[in-house]
Amino acid sequence: MKRSNPIAVVGAGPGGLASAMLLAASGLPVRVYEAMKTAGGRTGRLTSGRFAFDRGPTFFMMPYVLEEIFSAAGRRLGDYVDLRRLDPMYRLLIGQRDAHPLVIDTTQDVAEMVQQLDAIRPGDGAGFERFMRDNRRKLDLMTPILRRPVRGLRDLLTMDTLKVAPVLKPWQSVHDHLAGYFRSEASRLATSFQSKYLGMSPFECPSLFSILPFIEYEYGIWHPIGGCNALTSAMAAACQEMGVEIRCGQPVTGLRFDGRRLTGIEAAGTMHDHEHAVINADATWALKHLIPAALRGRDTDQRIDSRDYSCSTFMLYLGIRGEVDLPHHTIYTSASYRDNLADIATRGRLSEDPSAYVCNPSRLDPTLAPPGDSSLYVLVPVPNLKGRVDWAREAEGLRQTTLRQLERVFGLADIERRIQTEVMFTPKDWRGMNINFGATFNLAHSLRQMLHRRPQHRLPYTDGLWLVGGGTHPGSGLPVIFLSSQITSRMLCEEIGVQYAGDVPTDRTAQRVRALLPRVAAAL
């Protein structure tokens, strides 16, 4: 392809940058358009005064997937990012009525987890060991499906699908599924709250997502020095080394078509010729705002908006005077957990006792705060903008509730007086970043919105338009977003007729070797 007509990538988030790396490694010219002043998207860096924060994701799992992308580009992830494995992975505070929260310090040490869970309820430790064995097999069986496009029933009628079908149990929620392993509600919470990574309730999330906690315990949780935004910065640097042109501060405002064929992209008021574009914007926002309704057929704005969306998040990014006595990750589940989840998902209102997550990375990572001080990332799951919350009226009230939670539940006395700088995000701010309904985790992962029922990698009503990110298969979260970039890039290369650079062995042993490489490097 001519340099004057490269592959366009709309959005320099993790999916867009990973796709740009893979396409450039395959010999294709690539140009990335990013609306913000810097690359990263929701996985970007937020600064306030002398403090720095991850804007979005703070957990990094399955580093071998990103290692595969760097390897396809002839590079090593470890040369760009300093990864540190966390152990304990996080502290889980399980709220209890009229009692202090139950504390579980989660770890990859299975024997230690067995001991902790048996102390909660005898027999739950053995259930945890069985949970690990069963989900190891489930992930092995699901991996081929997670790594390839699922465009319809034909793609599901394969031997891989037949092998995994007996272990999926689609009629069960994650919470119901765990009843077969654990008698204690606390043990179930320790292996089901991860559904919130998808913006869903474990009482509604399909049971196949029991692989999420398994992935944590099997492969660990990692902190990149500088925050997860260091990952997107590393990908942007690798892209530029490979000749990818990244144009920041150039929002894409429209697409040009000749019939159904893409011919150009309008960015910052200028039209540019492109025959192929990979869209890394929020999927449903992009469908509504970039593709003419006449091309979308049944995908009208109303039909798109009627789909199920994840929850949103209320954020406080706090620069704190002095050190904070909390682990790297601390997660509190409300003492009224079911009611809290119902408030978020169905009632569309705020809870009196909200669940909350606090990331305190400064003890490990000195790059995020001045010496002796702390950068705190505080997240409260809340309804998306389909709910009934008047954020102009209720944001300050939730801020006060959250600060009280930090004092009462997390043990941070006088935290408000120690705040030196503060940034607040509500669902309206996420919507301002072109996220439909401010649904931070994209489309929900209900059964009717999985596999081929999510927006496709190759958008079917156009020629030359592709999708990558959490809105398509396999779904939300950094590791699976990287998997989606592999799927989209491979399909695009096949259509153009060039050799895809990212073909990797799917043998599980090879993947586990890759997973160990950053751990070995950290130990050295």
Nearest to 219 by CA among 520, 512, 474: 512
Return the pLDDT at 155.
Answer: 76
What mean pLDDT do residues 360-370 have?
97
Contact criterion met (CB below 8 Å) for 60 and 222: yes
CATH 3.30.70.100 fits domain 7-85+225-307+442-523: no
Q: What angle do CA 232, 65, 483 make, to 5 degrees?
A: 85
User: Tens digit of pLDDT for each residue in 323-332?
Assistant: 999 999 999 9
Q: Is the separation of the CB atoms in 450 and 475 below 8 Å?
A: yes
Q: 463: pLDDT confidence band, cut at 50, 70 and 90?
A: very high
Between CA 132 and CA 376 the distance in angstroms is 32
Q: Which residues contact 483 (CB under 8 A, 6 or more apart)?
A: 65, 146, 147, 474
Q: Could you count the other beta carbons within 10 Å of the beta carbon of residue 524?
A: 5
Q: How far apart are CA 469 and CA 26, in angstroms?
A: 20
Show me where the domains of the chain are located: 7-85+225-307+442-523, 109-219, 311-432
What's the pLDDT score for residue 4? 56
* Whole-structure pTM value: 0.93
**CB-CB contact of 473 with 484 (8 Å):** yes
Cα angle 120, 327, 201 (rounded to 5 degrees) comes to 60
- Residue 13 near residue 37, CB atoms below 8 Å: no
Tens of pLDDT, residues 7-52: 999 999 999 999 999 999 999 999 999 999 999 999 999 999 999 9
pLDDT at 375 over 80: yes
What Rg value do the Cα atoms of the chain yield, rounded?
22
Buried b / exposed e across 148-161, counting CB within 10 Å, b at 16+? bbbbeeebeeeebb
3-state helix, strand, coil in the chain (%, to 5): 40, 20, 35
- Alpha helices per DSSP H over 26-84: 63-72
In this structure, of 94-103, 144-153, 330-339, 476-485, the range with the lowest mean pLDDT score is: 144-153
Within a 13 Å sphere around the CA of 176, how many CA atoms are in the beta-carbon half?
Answer: 12
pLDDT band at 320 (very low <50, low <70, confident <90, very high): very high
The DSSP output letter for 381 is E
Query: What CA–CA distance (Å, rounded) separates 22 from 466?
Result: 14
Q: How many helices (H) and strands (E) does the chain have?
A: 18, 19
User: What's the CA gap between 325 and 490, in Å, rounded?
Assistant: 46
Question: Which H/E stretch holds residue 254?
Answer: strand 252-258
* Residue 171 pLDDT: 83
Cα separation, 310 vs 345, in Å, equals 8
Residue 225, burial from CB neighbour count under 10 angstroms (0-12, 13-18, 19+): middle
Least confident of 1-15, 31-45, 283-297, 482-496: 1-15
In the block, tokens 């489930």 appear at 138
Amino acid at 197: Y
Tokens of 400: 């006060």
